[in-house]
Amino acid sequence: MTKTGAWMLAGMLAVTAAVSGCGAGDGKKADEGGSKTAPPVDTKTVAKGMPNKFEPPVKLSTASFNYGVPKFAQGDDMNNNPWTRYLKETAGIEVNTVWDGPRKELEQKLNLMMASGDIPDFFLATPDQFAQLNKAGLLQDLTDVYKNFATDNIKQVMKDAGPEPLEAATIGGKLMGLPFTGVAKESVPVVWIREDWMKKLGLSAPKTMNDLLAISEAFTTKDPDGNGKNDTFGLSLDKDISIINGFLNGFHAYKGIWIKDKDGKLVYSSTLPEMKTALVKLQDMYKAGQIDKEFGVKDSPKVNESFGSNKLGIYYGALTAGFAPLSVQTPKVRWLPFAVPSIDSQPAKLQHGLNIFSGFWVVKKGVKNPEAVLKMADIWLQLFYLNTKSDIYDKYNDSKGIAHWTNAPVKIYKPFKNAEISVHLETLLKSSTKADDAALAKLTPEERGEYARILEYRAGTSDSWKEASRSDSWGSGPIINNVYLKENRFMPDQFITVPTASMVSKKANLDKMELEMYTKIILGAPLDSFDTFVKDWKRLGGDDITKEVNEWYSKK
């Protein structure tokens, strides 16, 4: 997938599940007097000059995409729903959605609007559209708007997302859009290992890459499922080489991103010597039977099925992997998450792309009160993330299978929302007594539900471990918070703009050549195949791309 395609599409379904919560309606008793008729939250802003409510109302047009889930209660529509009513009544913002539909159709519709110059007042633009709109002079400069009106809530989200999203939205020193921040940073991999297999074979938690390699060997050769057959594998691998970034990162190898070299210039990570070292180890593991011989014809869903058939014991996945695919495929099995180990004394850094979801919120040049977009973003954060009242959650987020939250005209995702749950529950879960109503009142509805289910799991009354796998003391959330964040174990892609001219014309063929190289070497091709690939990659367009990337980077 191209960089732009990855920005637009990667993780859409995963993010939808991650941000919408999992059974967050549980634990509703601690509402602390939340009224059905009272204003949902205090939307006063600390931004100087931003009114509590626009008078007269600000009227803005937009176009939006849906998430493919039910979003309207009976009698509601895209211009008459809890979010539009709340914005009008409480903030003095009247939003008129001129078009709502699937993401790809929205992109096509907006392209036609852009061609005519008749665009909505604000909308979500893809990175390509963002660049085109700016070049055409159709975008409102938001530099001063952000400086003067961004609330502390918004600034914190942007800070947590890392510097890259705002940098990507800045052209010629001017902020031309608001990044729709994503969850790429908290979604970097941890390594999940089957606990039952570890216990049966007497294996300890992996602290180094060599420890993990020993576990993989044991899972392959010591019959961890006890069926007397040689039919289990250590490491999970798919035909697109897409689920082992964490393994590669453990060798300080990074797949398909641009990173700084010792001279401060950008280099394409897949061509560096560390990648060859990692591929040598994967070839050894394949020869030793630790990797499924049929990986070359199995995509990720097929690999997930191998979990269900009890064939695989090690998986590099996101902090939410306990929800899916693991608990879906192996509901009776507990997998334990661990920080990705390194091959040496240098901690492994986990790669990720630009931390945005689909693109940038843009405002048409000349629109009156562009700060209303920031007002809507702040209201989104308060209603969706910061609200602690269950009745408000039901009204504006999710109830009876209706995803009301998808109707919010402006959204930005908290980059560590899922990981933060474990922080908020930590003290309560360490206590020997159950939390009282006052303590529960400080949690969001989703967090109360998560806490209740973790207690049920601990008591042995629930066979679902997925909530505990994310938020209990041994879960993946603490790994993100206490290891990755504290030690800054992130390796972001440094190329954060639209594809260069050479990328457009040559990258698809180079990517195909790269995947073929990975597969052939793992299957046993001579190791100098990597050196041949690097030479061919440079000769067939890589050098041109590298030159263009560094020309952009030097100006950034």
pLDDT 10s digit of each residue in the chain, 556 long? 333 333 333 333 344 444 544 444 444 444 433 334 445 555 444 566 799 999 999 999 999 998 889 999 999 999 999 999 999 999 999 999 999 989 889 999 999 999 998 999 999 999 999 999 999 999 999 999 999 999 999 999 999 999 999 999 999 999 999 999 999 999 999 999 999 999 999 999 999 999 999 999 999 999 999 999 999 999 999 999 999 999 999 999 999 999 999 999 999 999 999 999 999 999 999 999 999 999 999 999 999 999 999 999 999 999 999 999 999 999 999 999 999 999 999 999 999 999 999 899 999 999 999 999 999 999 999 999 999 999 999 999 999 899 999 999 999 999 999 999 999 999 999 999 999 999 999 999 999 999 999 999 999 988 779 999 999 999 999 999 999 999 999 999 999 999 999 999 999 999 999 999 999 999 999 999 999 999 999 999 999 999 999 999 999 8
CB-CB contact of 319 with 187 (8 Å): yes
Give the pLDDT score at 6.
36
Give CA–CA dist 543/551, Å, rounded.
12
Q: Name the nearest CA neighbour of 244 among 173, 314, 292.
A: 314
120 upstream amide cis, omega within 30 of 0: no
Q: What is the DSSP string of 350-389?
A: EEE--SEEEEEEEEBTT-S-THHHHHHHHHHIIIIII---
What is the distance between the terminal CA atoms of the chain, rounded to a whole angstrom?
A: 25
Tokens coding 175: 């902020």
CB-CB contact of 440 with 30 (8 Å): yes
| Helical H segments across 371-474, by residue range | 371-380, 390-396, 417-430, 437-440, 445-458, 466-471
Residue type, 352: H
Give the pLDDT score at 187.
98
Using the structure block, give the residue that is written with the tokens 């992130």.
490
- Candidates 3.40.718.10, 3.40.190.10, 1.10.760.10, 1.10.1370.30; correct CATH number of 190-352+493-555? 3.40.190.10
Using the structure block, give the residue that is written with the tokens 């204003």.
39
Residue 545: CB partners within 8 Å, gap ≥ 6? 268, 500, 502, 503, 506, 507, 510
Give CA–CA dist 162/317, Å, rounded.
21
Range 3-183+355-407 classified under CATH 3.40.50.1000:
no
Dihedral angle, C-alpha 350, 353, 356, 358, nearest 10 °? -140
Backbone angles phi, psi at 491, to 5 degrees: -125, 90
| Domain range annotation of the chain | 3-183+355-407, 190-352+493-555, 417-472
| Helical H segments across 139-232, by residue range | 143-149, 152-161, 163-168, 195-200, 209-221
Give CA–CA dist 297/304, Å, rounded.
13
Give the pLDDT score at 32.
39
| CA separation, residue 84 to residues 65, 69, 196 (Å) | 16, 18, 50
Cα atoms in the 13 Å half-sphere on the side-chain side of 239: 8
Radius of gyration of the chain from Cα atoms?
24
Q: What is the DSSP string of 103-151?
A: HHHHHHHHHHHHHHT---SEEEEPHHHHHHHHHTT-BPP-HHHHHHH--
Same fold, 3-183+355-407 and 190-352+493-555: yes
CB-CB contact of 355 with 162 (8 Å): yes
Tokens coding 52: 């509590």
Q: Which residues pair with 314 in a beta bridge?
A: 193, 235
Give the pLDDT score at 40.
52
| CA separation, residue 366 to residues 110, 343, 456 (Å) | 19, 55, 55
Using the structure block, give the residue that is written with the tokens 């990162």.
249
- For residue 81, give the DSSP letter: S
| CA separation, residue 379 to residues 44, 53, 83, 150 (Å) | 9, 12, 10, 12
Give CA–CA dist 470/164, Å, rounded.
27
